[in-house]
Amino acid sequence: RLSGNEFTRALHLHQEEALHSIIRENRNVIVATGTGSGKTECFLYPILDALLKETPEQRNRPGVRALLVYPLNALANDQLYKRIVPLFIGCYPEANIRVGRFTGLTRDDANRNHVEQDILSSDPWMSALFGNSIPANWQLTRQEMLSTPPHVLITNYAMLEHLLLFPKNSALFQP
């Protein structure tokens, strides 16, 4: 969960160096440091920076901009609920950055209203953040993501293989 000092606290040296290399020098980096040391910021902030630099016209173009592949659903969910949604949707609602999680937990027959109510009733933090309605740019169903691909797609390696193999999912990666 994002704290009030998310953007005002001093960065760790590895974060500062990674962000400088990625954003200013357009270089690839590998960040290897301990659990809980801030690796997530090293890739989320550059993604956010790139999306915020897009014009509204560019942002309206279809296509996934960032593919976040996690080894386990538990980690994907933790990052989605505690970091990605609060940052991209909670802190920057006017940017209309679309975020979606496409895992085995994202059922084919899901109805947005039901998924939305499940999230809001089971997670007090999400309810506190969004009230009675989750913004439409947090895409909750497979149908939403296939019709208008999210800018940030969260998945796991098993589902990524599924997404790439079946033609019905090709809309996520077009154009």
Q: What is the pLDDT of residues 119-166, one digit of tens each?
A: 999 988 889 989 999 999 999 999 999 999 999 999 999 999 999 999
Query: Roughly how many angstroms between the first and final C-alpha of the chain, as a whole number?
Result: 34
What is the average pLDDT value for the chain, to the nearest integer?
A: 91
The predicted model gives 54-82 an average pLDDT of 92
CA-to-CA separations, 44 to 80, 113, 159, 165, 167, in angstroms, rounded = 11, 28, 21, 27, 29
Confidence of residue 90 (pLDDT cuts 50, 70, 90): very high
pLDDT the model gives residue 94:
93
Is the pLDDT assigned to residue 174 strictly greater than 90?
no
Residue 37 has pLDDT above 60, yes or no: yes
Task: Please give the average per-residue pLDDT across 30-46, as a whole number.
Answer: 92
Average pLDDT over residues 62-90: 93
CA dihedral 30, 33, 100, 9 (to 10 degrees): -110
Distance from C-alpha of 143 to C-alpha of 132, rounded to nearest angstrom? 22
Query: What pLDDT, on the 0 to 100 scale, is given for residue 152?
Result: 97
For 99-111, what is the mean pLDDT?
Answer: 90
pLDDT band at 1 (very low <50, low <70, confident <90, very high): very low
Average pLDDT over residues 109-115: 92
- pLDDT of amino acid 7: 67
